[in-house]
Chain A
Amino acid sequence: MSLAVLPLLQQFVVLLAALALFLSFVLLAQTRLVAAIHVFAWQGALVAAVTFTVALSGHAGHLYFSALLTLILKALLIPWMLHRLVRRLGLERHTERLRHPALVVMAGVALVIFSYWLVLPMVEQGLAFTRNIIAVSLALVLIGLLMMVFRQQAVAQVLGFMSMENGLFLAAVSATAGMPLVVELGVAFDLLVAMVLFGVFFFQIRDSIDSLNVDRLNRLTEVESLDSAPHHSADGWS
Chain B
Amino acid sequence: MTPLLLTLLTPLIGGLALFLVRALGPAGWLNLGVSGLTLLSSLWLAWTVAQVDIVTGPGFRVDAFNVYLIVLTAFVGLTTAIFSRPYMQHVQASGRISVFNLRLYHALYQAFMLTMLVALTTDNLGVLWVAVEGATLATVLLVSLYRTPEAVEAAWKYFILCGVGIALALFGTVLTYFAAQLVLVDTESGLTWSVLHAHAAALDPTVMRIAFVFLLVGYGTKVGLVPMHQWLPDAHSEGPTPMSAVLSGLLLNVALYAVVRLKMLVDGSLAATETPHLAGALLMGFGLVSFMVAALFLHRQRDIKRLFSYSSIEHMGLMTFAFGLGGPLATFGALLHMLVHSLTKSAIFVTVGHATHLAGTQSIERIRGLIRTQPAIGWSLLFGVVAIAGFPPFGVFTSEFLLLTATMQTHPWFTLVLLSGLAIAFAGLFRHLQPMVYGSAPEGQGPVSANLLPVFVHLGLVLWLGLSIPGFLAEWLDRATVLITGGGLL
A residues at B contact (CB < 8 Å): 118-119, 121-124, 130, 134, 137-138, 141, 144-145, 148, 154, 157, 161, 164-165, 167-168, 171-172, 175-177, 179-180, 182-183, 186-187, 189-190, 193-194, 197-198, 200-201, 204-205, 207-209, 214, 217-220, 222, 225-226, 230-238
Contact = CB atoms under 8 A, between A and B. Distances in A.
Given A134-B178, A190-B133, A237-B360, A219 B59 contact: no
A175 B156 CA distance: 33
A6 B170 CA distance: 28
A232 B137 CA distance: 26
A183 B124 contact: yes
Interface string B338-352: 000000000000000
B146 A234 contact: yes
A233 B360 contact: yes
A149 to B, nearest CB: 9
A87 B210 CA distance: 42
Contacts of B302: 225-226, 230
A201 B124 contact: no
B478 interface: no
A220 B234 contact: yes
Given A177-B187, A197-B140, A201-B144, A164 B210 contact: no
B356 interface: yes
B2 interface: no
Contacts of A118: 210
Interface in B328-379: 353, 356-357, 359-363, 365
Contact of A207 (B147, B206, B300): B147
B455 interface: no
Given A234-B238, A235-B237, 20 more contacts: A137-B171, A138-B171, A141-B167, A144-B167, A172-B177, A176-B177, A179-B174, A183-B126, A187-B130, A194-B163, A197-B137, A208-B153, A220-B234, A220-B237, A230-B303, A232-B361, A233-B362, A234-B237, A236-B356, A238-B360
Nearest to A223: B300
B391 interface: no
B181 interface: yes
B150 interface: yes
A168 B174 contact: yes
Interface in B191-207: 191, 204, 206-207
Contact of A157 (B129, B151, B160): B160
Contacts of A235: 237, 240-241, 305, 353, 356, 362
B360 A220 contact: no
Given A194-B163, A234-B148, A234-B238, A183 B94 contact: no
B90 interface: yes
A179 to B, nearest CB: 6
Contacts of B353: 235
Interface of chain A, main secondary structure: helix
Interface string B224-243: 00000000001001101100
A159 to B, nearest CB: 12
A231 B156 CA distance: 18
Contacts of A165: 167
B443 interface: no
A230 B365 contact: yes
Contacts of A124: 206
B389 interface: no
28 contacts: A122-B207, A134-B178, A145-B164, A157-B160, A161-B163, A164-B167, A168-B170, A168-B174, A172-B174, A176-B177, A182-B59, A183-B124, A183-B126, A187-B130, A194-B133, A204-B144, A204-B152, A219-B153, A222-B300, A231-B150, A232-B361, A234-B146, A235-B237, A235-B305, A236-B359, A238-B94, A238-B357, A238-B360
Contact of A183 (B127, B210, B356): B127
B188 interface: yes
Contact of A204 (B147, B191, B237, B361): B147
A165 B206 CA distance: 24
B91 interface: yes
B211 to A, nearest CB: 10
A217 B126 contact: no
Interface in B159-187: 159-160, 163-164, 167-168, 170-171, 174-175, 177-178, 181, 187
B25 to A, nearest CB: 18
Contact of A236 (B156, B167, B171, B357): B357
Contacts of A154: 156
A26 B305 CA distance: 43
A194 B362 CA distance: 30
Contacts of A130: 178
B480 interface: no
B206 A121 contact: yes
B471 interface: no
Nearest to A165: B167
A63 to B, nearest CB: 13
Given A164-B164, A201-B144, A233 B363 contact: yes
Given A233-B360, A235-B362, A237-B91, A217 B157 contact: yes
Contacts of A119: 210
Interface in B408-465: 448
A234 B148 CA distance: 7
Contact of B147 (A148, A208, A217): A208
B174 A234 contact: no
Contacts of A122: 204, 206-207, 210
B151 to A, nearest CB: 6
B297 interface: yes
Nearest to B138: A193
Residue among B126, B155, B174, B237 with the most chain A CB within 10 A?
B174
Contact of A182 (B126, B175, B357): B126
A193 B305 contact: no
